[in-house]
Structure 1
């Protein structure tokens, strides 16, 4: 049998990685009780970090790179593997609640076993959708406690005959206590131990507050806290919790009795510490922990264990294998510690009970159970007709990269034009491009917390702020030496700025950006209803709708939305005829933004006429631009009128972007998957499915060419074209994720 394993993996410092490594070695490696199996590992990287993996790791998946997951499915399917075993934990896979793992699982052509390291009793809507779908795809779901079995059945509707209960394995490593204490120079000490990643939910302060009364009677007692701060905690809060604990130690006067070891150590070294300890403590702060590898290790090492009654502890410490105390109850912990230290015979009995049970859950034995399960599943095989194919395939797309945007951006803003792939400083900056740039980086940061996107955001936002005039309008053009080149910008640039600011208010990465954007946005609001350009009105409508997603009760803004939408409908009524369902007497530029605005407005106004005009005008535009099976944008040489021939050339990326956004919003509004296919068709205009059959995306510079001309591609790669491509690319990736979520709900 050949097994493909998916999970985090050492040297990445992660408990799931250690589990995956132990499972690998106990099923196909040197620790396996049954020989003859083979296997390989696909490891999940995190946050742009790369590791020197051992030879069994054949492929890595970058956590937030959607296409890596799809490539991994191809590798597994071509590998000759008989079965795949996935280690699942929220937080290690990309996308919202780890949804990026689903496309990989959909594509597997071999049976799947999933080990669930977390089962949430009260999941969010998306967490439940992802977990339910994973369990549907899998042929077997492994959990490590009876509580998890019950929750999978009750909360997620998983059939019990699909669930396998296999305990968390523990390494078969043991050291004598006397020798271990001697090595650590703890021979004269009573030793308490807590280990694992450190974070607020670990409740270590509960132990610290229990110690003063204990050390009065046992002055040789020492409490060792062994483990690094969890990497996710460090990213978001630094070492705040560790500093807090140090302050508690000082305040309680127990500095001589507490040792913090900020290390991630090997299993062998860890078991040496476990062997040296007299009592092991897990003081977690809530019941919602279905599996604890650290607790399993302590039992496997034969420790006397004291714990709060979280789900796994309540089961594992039953039948005299440990003692429980209530959450945050330091006095109760003090009482138990004194009782055990006063009565060594009780402590010895706890240690014996734990050790005897631990012999049954060593990794070789647990690995044998996984192999038995895998063999039984493999015999049944997989129905390859099950499941539904995805409409979109991000593997067909280039990697999403910000290289050219970074090249075009300085400390003022994004440069408007380029000579080929080189910024053209002579042309300076414009408001339109900086607004679009802000939108793009906000979309990027929302998807994958891209650090460069966050770094660039204030540059574009500060440009917008600098260009706003006292009356709330905006200048547009700024020279490279920062001189204003106009007094008032176009209404189009105004509308595009409101679009971007509205998106910011609905998706701000932090409060400082939100407050700045809010001031600029509301300073501009008095100008909304005086707009004349229907494209400016359309862009403003989209910006308002993004704002309303976070502030849906703003009655004043809803009234403005209704007024602006009425203006678009009025223009439509003036120009519409039986053979011309459009807002003007011609199709000019940025055409799809007009129905797009109505598709957004329909979400909030709940007016059937708004929806009808949006769909009718969208269908009319589609009939003109998609009639050949690919997108043929209305060219800007001679715009397309009722009695005029459509101009093929001077096709602009902005028009392709508007088409992509239009079909994306149509899908969101209707759930009609045909719009996703049209979205994909429009995006492929950038990649060569166009009238000239050439790609506008430059795979070398990572920029986008400025348009299709009669002589070929305009090779200049300015901000407008590159941002149009990147925003379109982001929309495709978002649509792919939304289709995945929808299919997860329907299966």
Structure 2
């Protein structure tokens, strides 16, 4: 049951005649039906010079060119205390250059925003890119309706994969029916009906379909092409009905007046569904491939119609695997041949209809509403990290001595054509100790972190190298990952530890969600699924935690994996049970002693609890992390991680302070930020910044561990001096933390105030 009680939609609304108005209204009504306890309202965009008789579901309208009305709308939404906002974005419906007026509204909202992008441009103008990036940054999540949208957001706009959700266009839950009854109702009995519907405009390719009709009629003399839809209002405003009249003339020139019917109507949904039901073939002959979403296509597909379409982006995905027929753009002969084939082959047409209808059951508005509610609810947990972009983030003041640039020179020097080396002698890579899957898995996490906005991605070659190491580490005979490899590429074991297996799953889950390439995301998801089941036999709490972090990313990638969902529940329960079994009044931990990567146990419970809406897991994670951070705070207030001398201590002893390692600071930063997302307490963010400051000298020795020019990081602190070696684990730990803090700064829009020694601040 959703916890959202009040939900607002920003977009166009019926009775305005456009696809966004139809979508916004349909989504609002679907959520109102699915969750009747949720109060919903629409903030409707009204185009200049028009007025509409809006229904009661529209709580406020904005005249698109009036900037002050956007600000007024933000005040309305804040005053009404809406829990979340669903923004429908399309180029052209908001005022200002590139639609920038909407930023005045978003910058003032106090609740999280989930933005649905109806168009993602492959080649935006500079203004369009800037505005869209700021909308994305102001949004807790962005929704697209096709995988192509996800790919463009990743490659063109560098949006983190974890911020993107793919939710297909909703469809009515309509029965699979034969067309005869509807044909009789609309006066087309005995005809083979081809249908196109939607607002008419030149990019729809209607003239191509008209040109195809003579060839179709030659084989099916009973064929009729029904063009249902009013002319687009913008086209009427600028050119009147010239386009429609040109189509009518074209029909007359071809002598096919008895076979083409224009219905100049904008119909309600029941009437529309009747028209779709009567067609034998639905055609979308669009002329431009850059069509990310087509509601007309989704509706016809969802009603189990045989579809012939040009290969625009949405159609390529929806009609793949025999669910429809694709023909070249502007090719009247090809579309005519394809439609004729379907009209003269009942068996083929019926099989295509059945496939389309079966696949579309997951797209009904009821299912779509459920998915939107889940995304909106998850956005509420992360709203504290949403940027309010009143200022351009690229122009925000920064202090680079406090928050360094991302330098990866040393990281690159630690890599060769096999992968990331484990150790270094000072800053020189040490080949003696070879490689391990632990560090190469961490390197994959770095690669994913550098896919975030504002960072420079690792080269494709290097990321592939880390992935290849992980793939080679997989031992199908044992069902486990090997860990240690000598410099001459000999595996030193048949299987690694439970912890290294869990850490590798964590990396694979993140790659499945966040990698820049769809092929590698698919590889990671497949290997994750194969390597996951063995974890159920593990005993290590850290293996549970690493695997849960991997599951958090893997499930967020959009996979439908009930077994993974079951195992996530099992592992989280085991981790929570470990805490319950060991916890006393003065010891709030999962084990009898403290070891390495401690904070990951708390982080795993927090993130799993948020994802599965299990409040007890979130509370257990927060409780244990609060206790751990108290143990890791020196009397003077700076961060003091659990030292390696404490690892493996029996009994419930106070942790010893040395040797201190970067891994502990990195784990603590991530866990504290997860806690901040969970309960919004600013103290967690302060703790994360203190842990990050440890790298730069806010530590027991007052010594910086980082060389900001090369990005190298010392291996830790001894009692009397820093460890001068700068190995693989240390550099990836530092880079992961730097990436996380840089993204924190980016989304919060604030200067990072770290507790650094005065000499470093100068």
Query: Normalising to structure 2: TM-score of the pair?
Result: 0.50
Aligned partners of 1:96 and 1:181: how far apart in 2?
47
Cα distance change on mapping 1:385 and 1:214 into 2, 3 Å: closer
Equivalent in the alignment of 1:19: 23
Aligned partners of 1:20 and 1:331: how far apart in 2?
37
Give CA deviations for 1:727-747 in whole Å, capped at 9, x if unaligned.
xxxxxxxxxxxxxxxx99x99
Matched, 1:294 2:296: yes
Cα distance change on mapping 1:49 and 1:192 into 2, 3 Å: same
Matched, 1:77 2:90: no
Q: Paired residue for 1:258, among 254, 257, 260?
A: 260
Q: Paired residue for 1:185, among 184, 187, 212?
A: 187
Aligned partners of 2:147 and 2:319: how far apart in 1?
13
Once the two structures are TM-superposed, the CA of residue 317 in structure 1 deviates from its matched residue by 0.3
Matched, 1:352 2:354: yes
Aligned partners of 2:342 and 2:387: how far apart in 1?
60
2:9–2:85: 8 Å Cα contact kept in structure 1? yes
Equivalent in the alignment of 2:215: 213
* Aligned 1:83-232 pairs, distance under 5 A: 83-174=84-175, 176-232=178-234
Once the two structures are TM-superposed, the CA of residue 383 in structure 1 deviates from its matched residue by 4.3
Aligned partners of 2:389 and 2:346: how far apart in 1?
59
Query: Normalising to structure 1: TM-score of the pair?
Result: 0.51
Once the two structures are TM-superposed, the CA of residue 181 in structure 1 deviates from its matched residue by 0.9
1:109–1:382: 8 Å Cα contact kept in structure 2? no
| SS of alignment partner, residue 360 of structure 1 | helix
Equivalent in the alignment of 1:245: 247
| SS of alignment partner, residue 288 of structure 1 | coil
Once the two structures are TM-superposed, the CA of residue 99 in structure 1 deviates from its matched residue by 0.9
Aligned partners of 1:386 and 1:276: how far apart in 2?
49
Once the two structures are TM-superposed, the CA of residue 285 in structure 1 deviates from its matched residue by 0.4
Give CA deviations for 1:103-142 in whole Å, capped at 9, x if unaligned.
1111111100000001111111111111111111101000
1:148–1:290: 8 Å Cα contact kept in structure 2? yes
Aligned partners of 1:152 and 1:181: how far apart in 2?
43
Cα distance change on mapping 1:143 and 1:384 into 2, 3 Å: closer
Aligned partners of 2:134 and 2:293: how far apart in 1?
21
| SS of alignment partner, residue 173 of structure 2 | coil
The number of residue pairs the alignment matches comes to 392
Q: After the TM superposition, which of the residue ranges 211-220 and 62-71 deviates more from structure 2? A: 211-220
Once the two structures are TM-superposed, the CA of residue 184 in structure 1 deviates from its matched residue by 1.1
Equivalent in the alignment of 1:701: none
Q: After the TM superposition, which of the residue ranges 11-20 and 34-43 deviates more from structure 2? A: 34-43
Equivalent in the alignment of 1:62: 63
Once the two structures are TM-superposed, the CA of residue 35 in structure 1 deviates from its matched residue by 4.1
| SS of alignment partner, residue 363 of structure 2 | coil
Cα RMSD (Å): 1.9
Aligned partners of 1:19 and 1:385: how far apart in 2?
27
2:108–2:388: 8 Å Cα contact kept in structure 1? no
| SS of alignment partner, residue 76 of structure 1 | helix
Equivalent in the alignment of 2:592: none
Aligned partners of 1:332 and 1:125: how far apart in 2?
37
Equivalent in the alignment of 2:670: none
Cα distance change on mapping 1:347 and 1:104 into 2, 3 Å: same
Equivalent in the alignment of 1:702: none
Aligned partners of 1:88 and 1:385: how far apart in 2?
18
Equivalent in the alignment of 1:334: 336
Once the two structures are TM-superposed, the CA of residue 340 in structure 1 deviates from its matched residue by 1.2
Once the two structures are TM-superposed, the CA of residue 384 in structure 1 deviates from its matched residue by 7.4
Aligned partners of 2:387 and 2:209: how far apart in 1?
55
Cα distance change on mapping 1:162 and 1:63 into 2, 3 Å: same
Once the two structures are TM-superposed, the CA of residue 371 in structure 1 deviates from its matched residue by 0.4
Aligned partners of 1:261 and 1:283: how far apart in 2?
18
| SS of alignment partner, residue 224 of structure 1 | strand
| SS of alignment partner, residue 382 of structure 1 | helix
Aligned partners of 1:57 and 1:382: how far apart in 2?
28
2:302–2:360: 8 Å Cα contact kept in structure 1? yes
2:140–2:382: 8 Å Cα contact kept in structure 1? no
Cα distance change on mapping 1:385 and 1:120 into 2, 3 Å: closer
Cα distance change on mapping 1:215 and 1:380 into 2, 3 Å: same
Once the two structures are TM-superposed, the CA of residue 79 in structure 1 deviates from its matched residue by 0.8
Aligned partners of 1:158 and 1:380: how far apart in 2?
16
| SS of alignment partner, residue 384 of structure 2 | coil
Once the two structures are TM-superposed, the CA of residue 42 in structure 1 deviates from its matched residue by 0.5
Once the two structures are TM-superposed, the CA of residue 388 in structure 1 deviates from its matched residue by 4.0
Once the two structures are TM-superposed, the CA of residue 358 in structure 1 deviates from its matched residue by 2.0
2:138–2:388: 8 Å Cα contact kept in structure 1? no
Cα distance change on mapping 1:207 and 1:384 into 2, 3 Å: closer
| SS of alignment partner, residue 156 of structure 1 | coil
Q: Paired residue for 2:377, among 375, 378, 393?
A: 375
Aligned partners of 1:127 and 1:368: how far apart in 2?
31
Give CA deviations for 1:622-679 in whole Å, capped at 9, x if unaligned.
xxxxxxxxxxxxxxxxxxxxxxxxxxxxxxxxxxxxxxxxxxxxxxxxxxxxxxxxxx
Once the two structures are TM-superposed, the CA of residue 387 in structure 1 deviates from its matched residue by 3.9
Structure number with greater Rg is: 1
Aligned partners of 1:385 and 1:210: how far apart in 2?
51
Aligned partners of 1:102 and 1:165: how far apart in 2?
23
Aligned partners of 1:118 and 1:98: how far apart in 2?
13
Runs of 4+ in 1 over 2 A off after TM superposition: 173-176, 379-390
Once the two structures are TM-superposed, the CA of residue 36 in structure 1 deviates from its matched residue by 2.4
Matched, 1:4 2:5: no
Equivalent in the alignment of 1:587: none
Once the two structures are TM-superposed, the CA of residue 385 in structure 1 deviates from its matched residue by 7.7
| SS of alignment partner, residue 376 of structure 2 | helix
Once the two structures are TM-superposed, the CA of residue 279 in structure 1 deviates from its matched residue by 0.1
Aligned partners of 1:370 and 1:86: how far apart in 2?
12
Once the two structures are TM-superposed, the CA of residue 217 in structure 1 deviates from its matched residue by 2.3
Once the two structures are TM-superposed, the CA of residue 47 in structure 1 deviates from its matched residue by 1.7
Equivalent in the alignment of 1:364: 366
2:220–2:344: 8 Å Cα contact kept in structure 1? no
Aligned partners of 1:385 and 1:231: how far apart in 2?
36
Aligned partners of 1:65 and 1:271: how far apart in 2?
37
2:228–2:264: 8 Å Cα contact kept in structure 1? yes
Cα distance change on mapping 1:276 and 1:111 into 2, 3 Å: same
Equivalent in the alignment of 1:43: 44
Aligned partners of 2:222 and 2:153: how far apart in 1?
46
1:109–1:384: 8 Å Cα contact kept in structure 2? no
Give CA deviations for 1:687-728 in whole Å, capped at 9, x if unaligned.
xxxxxxxxxxxxxxxxxxxxxxxxxxxxxxxxxxxxxxxxxx
Aligned partners of 1:49 and 1:94: how far apart in 2?
14
Q: Which runs of 5+ in 2 are unaligned?
A: 393-745, 751-762
* Aligned 1:657-668 pairs, distance under 5 A: none
Once the two structures are TM-superposed, the CA of residue 176 in structure 1 deviates from its matched residue by 4.7
Q: Which runs of 5+ in 1 are unaligned?
A: 391-742
Aligned partners of 1:26 and 1:108: how far apart in 2?
24
Equivalent in the alignment of 2:606: none
1:201–1:285: 8 Å Cα contact kept in structure 2? yes
